[in-house]
A and B are shown apart, each in its own frame.
Chain A
Amino acid sequence: MNTITRRDLGRLSLAAAVAGAGVTAGVFPAVAQSANPIRIGFAMALSGGLAGNGRATLLAYQIWAAEVNARGGILGRPVQLVFYDDQTTPGLVPGIYTKLLDVDRVDIVTSPYATAMIAPAMPVVMQRNVTFLTIFGAGVNEAFKYDRHFNMNVVGDNMKETYAKGFLDIAARLPTPARSIAILAVDNEFAQKAAESTRFLSRQRGLRIVYDRSYPPSTVDFTPTIRAVQAARPDVVFIASYPPDSSGILRAASELRFTPQIFGGGMVGPQLAAFQAQFGPILNNLVNWDVYSPEPTMNFPGVAAFQEKYRELAVKEQTDLLGNYIPPYAYGQMQVLEQTLTRIGKIDQTAMAADMHASEFDTIVGKFRFSASGEWAEPRNLYVQFQSIRDGDLEKYKRPGAKVILAPENLKSGELRAPYGPAA
């Protein structure tokens, strides 16, 4: 009888890992062939549940790498991306980072997308004392307190006291200010932190919490849950969900004709093109957390040119067609790296961390500094409202007016419309 030994299994695993690995290829094949490059290593979700944003992130990195190499590289050296598919499986991440640092011996490591994948990489990078620039983590460094961790995300240091502030500020602007709130959150770290922030700030502002529950990511039908929320008669509803759940929740709300004054919160999904194409008018008047909207108040230098380039390639690369969510930040993350290396003039992990702590960065998503814990020193949680949405045509999301910014005040581009529901 043929048997598979542990060694055979190890070989198969290695073969599978190699098959899933890549250097900058596909749309930018020439980059991989340059001599003595600066090698930037990372794991990325190219398959599995987070692959949608993972592949969009990778495309943004590749655009940046191509541009940098066209300009002659950094410190006179071209850059090369060395990446492996983490398959959205946290258990694979430590092995990938060990390989990147000990076998591939890359010069710099950046993170996978997002919190659940970043956390398992932390012990590996901390053991080797390398600077770790992460993308869209949420409070990962609260537990590790690693002084070489830097996170490209707008949520900032103190998520509990800041995340839902904009949402509740908007609720206070209703003609009859909201008095009750319902909170529904998926059982994952980011959503639970978002719900905790909403709970904390709602109590602080005297809002009555009439429904406060979590749901498992495996939930298929949200009709009974939304019906129970509806039965509690809240003025506003804060939901923290991930893409597959956000679909079910919005469909259920539509089928039940649920029209509270404000509906939305921290739903991940409505930021993405596929979602916007599918849901069309169901998104109308949804008030939701976001990171970018093509409003005049966010027209940072370089962002429009980047998006034009991204959108040209997105169809071929089968990633998010609009690139209004993570791609500008992924590109900005690499700009941070480029600016640091250019300033310090060498690849030195200690000097990189010191520079990131000390400097202000100017990127296509604006200027910012990192705090002592490596988060954005000034949080910038956007709350946008989908307005006048009557169909799933994506063109409108390339222009101002479809996703109006209601908070924060300094980026505000329009006024709240209530209640939630399809446009007349």
Chain B
Amino acid sequence: MTFVSIRDLRVAFDGVQVLHGVDLDIRQGEAVGLVGESGCGKSVTWLAALGLLPGKAKVSGSVRLDGQELVGAPRPAIEKVRGKRIAMIFQDPSSSLNPVQRVGKQIMESLRLHRGLKGRDARAEAIRLLDMVGIPSAATRVDLYPHEFSGGQCQRIMIAMALAGEPDLLIADEPTTALDATIQAQILDLLGTIRRETGMAMVFISHDLGAVSVVCDRAVVMYAGRIVEANNIRSLFSAPRHPYTAGLFAAIPDIDADRGRLVPIHGTVPDPKNLPTGCAFSPRCPRATAFCQTDRPHLRPQSGGGDVACFQPVAAPKAFPALRQEALA
């Protein structure tokens, strides 16, 4: 059942279009990975959906949550959605917590707001949540300030705060990018556990395909403000169809293969002020034809499943390195 339905979402900053019509459905309880380079619009999509972009951003299109339109909705209506229906955690956990407020108080604020818990009840619940996200001796550390926790622990606290509203959907905006590799794995593990236990849906925004494969059922690849490919994790990893997706995989080192140069995607992400005509990826695309430089492909369902926006998709399933097979199994 579709829970959030985004249609033709467009965002412009100071007249520069950064999101060019995104269509995306999130079903109840599913985990979707949103993948792409920095600036491709993956975070902007959700910040726009929740009305968290600064005032100068122009947002159009539609974001429906259980039929309720969020784009252009009055502020009180959106405030009821934030934290309660859709919660969000961010990339830099240490600066995402208010430095001058005790972490317990910040969690209790959400509990009061969304569940009406106050005083001792709120405190007990905050401690339970901290305990659940794996903060050791939560009962005593509930009164500490954010700077007294490590980055990984701050992200756990952010997750506890997000869970306080018992949301139906958690948007995790690059939650592990700022963390050490070992801590990343712990946070991914925690997110997986929580999702199993609560059954909430999750959108996992990341440029790390490996992380996405661990947490998500389905992945959506974005490039220059558009979705270029969407498929379930297994198909996307075994047979990427869009040349950009294929390029992303080719740029990941394979631990089992002989040592050799990685294959980079040549060129750089286009400037949103100055997008190429036709397919935005065509200047960097090894498969581009003259047609690709004049016409823009739309996202189309493919016979083998999944959606791709490309005139020259990578054809047959090729043998790709067995990426994180253990995680997919």
Do A and B assemble together? no
